[in-house]
Every structure is written in structure tokens, then in C-alpha cells.
Structure 1
Amino acid sequence: MKAKRIVLVLLALILLPIAVFFALQFYHYSKNESPYRTLLIPRLEIVVIEIDDLSSDEINMHEKLLIHNPLPFNFTADSLQYKLFIGDVEVIKSTYTKSLIIRKWNSTWIDLPVTINNDKLLATLNKADKQGKDSVMYRIQTTFHTHIPFKKKFDIDAEKLLPLFYIPTAQLKEVYHDSLSLKGVTLFLKVMIGNRNKFPFKVKDLKYKFSLADNEWVTGAELGEIDIKQQDSTELLLPLRISFSDIFKSIGPLIRKGGKVEYKFSMDLNLVSESNSIKNSKVTINDTGTLKELIKLAKDEKKKEKEKK
């Protein structure tokens, strides 16, 4: 009889913490108003995708994940493996190697850096555009590796629908001069900003630079906001002040190469948008060519203007 009591006491001591554990879990579960609440398994509550930099080669972005831990103890994830799909195309597969502490009965933000090759992205966007879609599904698959005895690995997936966004393009159409003085000359760069998107947007704090015949960059800036038209080109006239000392450096190549002299043009701007995913994103646009090509473009533009008249 005494042995039976001892067994019952031991069972009670073993089962009581388990009962308390499930009671606490159910209490927190019932208090949580989220439709995606879970009783024992961590879940992904929010996915925020923010684009930092866009260029002709790649896009750098951050995926911010809000992970909720319903367990009554913290746990550490040694690493996190993740895949990003845009549409049905896998655009990145990577591992976050830093240890992550997921707080008990709380939510923890995880910031994942993502770099996407533009060729893959453009192919996906073009496919969605041909299908008549104005948005595309971003889907992330994550795997957490932990030391929890009963669960060594968590798989958490999420998806978010975002609007299609094509990177703007820039083309230098013409260069002409004004304000000639003994010290230098003011050049005006006629630049066309192309926007394939089905919506207009604004850009702000535009910074640009121009180089001729491998000389040092000459820089300029246009502060404030500029409206960019949807599915069209927007003309910008950008001034640059060049000293004669800079011009003299180009005389040698100009004489030797003539119209084959190369130029480089680069522009950095920030997007203004109500969408958090692209708001304040930095865009870098580049254009290169030769003086001969530039002169031809200018002549073609003037010819088109005459035909319109």
C-alpha cells in the first residue's frame, strides 16, 4: 500500500508540471486574438519586404520576419535556411548562420538580407505581365534548426502579394552648352527616364554624374521631388558645370578618336511611394555610349520634332 502511494506521488509529481505546462499554454492560446495562433509550434506572424537598392544588375532587399513563440521558454536557433520564390520561380536559396534567440510567449523580429539577380527577376515579371497580372506573389520558406528535444527543426512558410515593379531606365539623348565664361561652361544633359510600370511615381534627391573619355566624374544634383509618368518616358534637363581644365583633358582623346570617344552617365535617386516595400528605395541607373551615338540620337530627336510640326 505504501509503495502504491509512493508511485502515485511520483506520477503526480511528473504529471503536474505537464498539466501546468498545457494549462499555461491553453491560457496564452485563448488570450491570443490572432487568427493564425498556434498552441505549441512557433509561427510566422508578419512578413515585411523592403527594397534597399535597385540597379541594372541586382536588387538588394531585406525580408523582415516576425516569429511568435508560444512556448513558455526561450529557444535558440543555430541557423536558419531560407528560400525566396517570386511567382513560381526560386530566386534565392541561402543560410542565415547567426544564432537567433526566440523569446518565450513573445514575438521576435528577424532581418534577412536578400540579393536577387535581375535576370531572374525580370523573367518572372515579364511572365506575370504577359498573363495580365499587376502583382506577383513573394513566397518565403524557412527552416529553423534548434536544440529543443521534441522538435529539432521548424519549417515556417509565408507569402505576400506585391505589385509588379520594373526598374526605371535612363538614356542620355543630347548634350548642349550654355553660360560660357573664361573659367568654364555649363552643360545641359537631356535625359529620358523610362517607366514600364502601370503606375506613375515620384523620385527625389536625384544625384548624377557624367564622364567623357575616362576623365574624372563631373557631378550634379537636383533636390526635391520629380514626377515620373506611367508607361512613358519623362524628360529631364540636368545642368553640369565643367571647368576648362577638365575640358582640356579630353582634347587629346577627342582629336584622336573623334566620334568614338566614350561617355559614361550614372544617376542615383530615391523612390517616393505609399508602398512600404519600395518607399525610399535607392535606384541606380547607368548609361554608356559614344559621342557619335549621342549626336545621332540628337539628330533623330530633332527630326521627330520637325515631323510633328
Structure 2
Amino acid sequence: MDASWTHTTVLLQEAVDALLSNKPVMAASAMPGTGATYVDATFGRGGHSRLLLARLGPQDRLIAFDRDPAAIAEAAQIADPRFAIRHQAFSHLGELPPASAAGVLMDLGVSSPQIDNPERGFSFRFEGPLDMRMDTTRGESVAEWLATAEVQQIAEVIRDYGEERFAGPIAKAIVARRQERGPISSTTELAELVAGTVKTREQGQNPATRTFQAFRIFINAELEELQQALEASLTVLQPGGRLVVISFHSLEDRIVKQFIAKHTREVVDRRAPDWMLAAKAPVMKLKALDRIKPSAAEVAANPRSRSAVMRVAERTVAT
């Protein structure tokens, strides 16, 4: 791997501490001679997984998921019988046995090696193919999608996933460019077109930032994947098991925040008769525990961590 493509794991110690802080309780509930199973649902370049393996016991297990072939290749370097990697998106979390995990960790978004490798097409800073797929072995690239998408669809994606107020003009410019000179195929072509369309932007932010974010989230169905994975975690986690989620932009964090809030409330059906309410008292599925931001020292050492938010919750009951 190119040295410039290395990845600094965000909130490394904090995430592992949060995931394992209930380990004595979980170990006590395990069968004699067996350990606990933890899940790194987004392996990336393995920072969290490696620290977890260093702190887990000899009977414990770690199962990781990732859909990026480069991440799978990195995971193959871990020679530890307690570790297993699945070449799947983390929305497949629900394929694990019910109540089998003592903890689930999700580190969302795109990794530094993905951003910094021009061939992946995630960054407007480098000339490269306009791809942006997390899993390069399947699915449609951004360039392929833009070759046929209509103005309204492109505008909706840029607005909804990029929170871009110039979504309409950008979409029209993309289609006009396609009609005049053919589809956009490179990152710099797209970045230059957006820069020529967006006349004002926040100080220090590239005009293409929101558009690139929107296309990446859309082409990988990132928000839908997150929602599926969060719902699956309720089934996979044991009572007392920890859910730890690190997000990097407001769209992700809003989904995580609302999911935890939804399942930490005791929901009462006011239409149900009193005898039914008494027979089946409402229960909470999660208990919110913490919200953690990177320290000033971490942000200074790794500026890409500045937008990170880590939320921690605990599974309360089996359903």
C-alpha cells in the first residue's frame, strides 16, 4: 500500500473502551469454556479490529464486515484464529445468529486510503475515474449513473445527500455538458463543472465538496445500509451488549441519534385496553449511554477527525 494511503483510525481507544466496558458482565453470562463474540461491522483498514484483538481473551471471537476488496485484502494479513472477515456490506449484519454478539461497532463513511487513492474516484483533489463505489466488484459507478440520469433525479440526490442549495443548477449543468460533449468521466471534470456553477461557498470549502459527498452516499446507498444495519443490531446484540457508532456528517449522525432515541422510549399504544397494557408492559430496547467527540489533541493530529461523533447505547432486553 502507498504510504500516502495510510489510515488513522478515529476515536480508536474511545470506541474500543466503550465496546468492551461491559465485558465482565457479558463473560459472566456466557457458557463455561466459551467467550464473547464482537462485531466490527466496518473493518476499513482494521484499526479498531486490531486493538480489539489485542484486548480480547483467548476464547473470544471477532467477526468483521467490509464490502471494499482492498479492506478484505488488508484483513487477510491478520493471522489470528479468533478473527473472521466477511466480504459483505454491514447491512448483512442480520445474518448473524440472534443475540450472538456482545458488542457491535460501526465506523461510518469513507476511509483515508479510499479518499487518497485517485483510482477510487472519491476525491475532487485528484484526477481519476469518476467511480466512488465502495465495492468495485459490483454495481454502477457515478460516471455510469450520470451518463443516463435525468436532471430532476440528479438534483434530488445532490440536495438530499449533499444538502447543497445549488443542486438544481449543478444538475442542469451536468446534463447540458453531457448533451454537448458526452458524459463526465473523471473527478476533475466534475469538480471543474461544479466550481463553474457554484458562485459562492463557505470559506475554505471546495465548491464540489457537497456534490461529491452526495454522489458517494447515493451510489453506495450508505444511508439505507446504515438504517438496515442499525435495525439488525437489535436482533444480533445480546442483552447488555453495546452498540457503538462513529459518524462523520450530519445525515449519518441524525439517523443514529433518532434510532437510539426511538428505541430508548417506552412506547405505549394509547388505544390498547387497560388489561392489555397491564399484561404486557412496554419495554425499551436500548439505553443511551454516551456521546463522544474527538479531543482537541486528536483533531490537531488528524484534522479529518474533527466532524466525528460517537454514540454509545446498550441493549436492554431480548424481544
TM-score under structure 2 length normalisation? 0.22
Instruction: Specify the structure having the higher radius of gyration (Cα).
Output: 1
Q: Which has the higher strand share?
A: 1
TM-score under structure 1 length normalisation? 0.22
Identify the structure with bigger relative contact order (alpha carbons < 8 Å, sequence gap 6+).
2
